[in-house]
Structure 1
Amino acid sequence: MKLLVIEDEREISESICQYFAGEDFLCETAFDYRAAIEMINMNEYVCILLDITLPNGNGLDILKELKKMEKADGVIIISARNSMDDKIKGLETGADDYLVKPFHLPELGARVASIIRRRSFGGKSQIALDHLVLDVFKKTLKLKDEDIPLTRKEYELLLYFIGNKNKVVTKEAIVEHLWGSHIDMLDNYDFIYAHIKNLRKKLVQAGCPDYIKVAYGLGYKFTIH
């Protein structure tokens, strides 16, 4: 899952990215208004961490741009401004949450996780599909109380499929979501095929139906009724 950190203080940006890398997120960064606008135009994020005060512009204008573009990215404002007026204005403009600097990174992590659950899974920490139970907190998968061991990328891939169940997702969208926009893909999708093949195999061997269908010429579809 991919985050965008829009923060002009590089030390803060780096510490946030290091923390979330340890939580298996991909972090991309923008240090000024123009770079941030370019990033949100090119990419989709599960959450954007947004400072209000930026070189060449204002974070609230980025919120307005996201709203105008009808983007579904979650947004948490991270700001040194602690006034009630700023908080109300940020939330009314479209932010999901507002966190005042300085803050503890685990608190920021919990707020990001809350937004992802709320936006993608109705606020649930456990997702039940047929007899499968995916625990978003523990990052585990069980079938009838039996663990199905997944690698980190297999887990992220399954979570992405579940969040887009019964929809066709392209190989490009999968790469963008799981590996970020800076991966050198060349013309070879073998690494995508390998992860999907291994995930399908583990689910079927555990006794699941083959949920992941190939949409020829388009991508893949996680089909469940």
Structure 2
Amino acid sequence: MKLLIIEDEQGLRETIKKYFTEDGNICEACNDLKSALEKIALYDYDCILLDIGLPDGEGFGVLDYLRQNGKSDCVLIISARNSVDDKTKGLNTGADDYLTKPFHLAELKARVLAVFRRKTLGAGSVLTYKEIEIDLNGRNVSINKTPVTFTKKEFDMLLYFIANKGKVVSKNAIAEHLWGDEMDMLDSFDFIYTHIKNLRKKLTDLTGRDFFSSVYGVGYKFF
């Protein structure tokens, strides 16, 4: 997954980022409302971890921006505020969940996965798409009941394409989603072609069908 952590407490922000990065996720972070809105305007995230008490404004502004601009990023509020009014406002403004500080990182991870599955892929821990079955918790894939080994990037790419099935996805969007800020250091998109070629072959070998359609000059569509 690709996460944005909006938290002004440096220690907590770095701890959360390290925890999710070590688990194989792409994590970006910022410590104020202005930086958060700039990132959200440029990029899409699987889940935003949002502290509502920011030094330059209320984090509720992030929810307002997402709603006004038709963006569907999942949002999990993480806040020391535990009043019913704050929780109600957050959930009514568009947050998908609300977790009160202090919390255990394991619970935060469980909440993030639950929000992502519920909003993007369905409620269960197993995602089924045609002949493909994905165990989201174990990060295992079976095709026609046959286990298939994918690299981390291939797995993340498969999940990303299924979540965006039927849509034309640009090469830039794929790179930005899977590599985050690190994409700025890449010389070309040749690595995307290599990953898609490998993913495409594994899917085709076991299903007899090609799930990908290349859109010339733009990117790919997954059916």
Global fold match (TM > 0.5): yes
Name the CA distance, whole Å, in 1 between partners of 2:40 and 2:188.
Answer: 26
Name the CA distance, whole Å, in 2 between partners of 1:199 and 1:144.
Answer: 16
Aligned residues: 223
Matches within 5 A, 1:9-88: 9-88=9-88
Two-structure CA RMSD over aligned residues (Å): 1.4
Counterpart for residue 152 of structure 1 = 152
Name the CA distance, whole Å, in 1 between partners of 2:200 and 2:113.
Answer: 26
- Superposed CA deviations along residues 107-146 of structure 1, whole A, max 9, x for unmatched, are 1111111111112112232222232211112111102321
Name the CA distance, whole Å, in 1 between partners of 2:34 and 2:182.
Answer: 19
Counterpart for residue 101 of structure 2 = 101
- Superposed CA deviations along residues 82-119 of structure 1, whole A, max 9, x for unmatched, are 11121111111211111011101111111111111112
Name the CA distance, whole Å, in 1 between partners of 2:16 and 2:208.
Answer: 38
Name the CA distance, whole Å, in 2 between partners of 1:132 and 1:154.
Answer: 14
Counterpart for residue 164 of structure 1 = 164
Gapped runs of 5+ residues in structure 2?
none
Secondary structure of 1:199's aligned partner: helix
The code of the aligned residue for 1:44 comes to: D
Name the CA distance, whole Å, in 2 between partners of 1:200 and 1:218.
Answer: 18
Secondary structure of 1:181's aligned partner: helix
Q: 1:112 to 1:205 in 2, by over 3 A?
A: same
The code of the aligned residue for 1:134 comes to: I
> Normalising to structure 2: TM-score of the pair?
0.95
The answer to whether the 8 A contact 2:144-2:206 is kept is: no
Gapped runs of 5+ residues in structure 1?
none
Counterpart for residue 112 of structure 1 = 112
The answer to whether the 8 A contact 2:2-2:26 is kept is: yes
Name the CA distance, whole Å, in 2 between partners of 1:166 and 1:40.
Answer: 23
Instruction: Check if 1:183 corresponds to 2:183.
Output: yes
- How far off is 1:186 after superposition? 4.7
Secondary structure of 1:183's aligned partner: helix
Secondary structure of 1:206's aligned partner: helix
The code of the aligned residue for 1:202 comes to: K
- How far off is 1:214 after superposition? 1.1
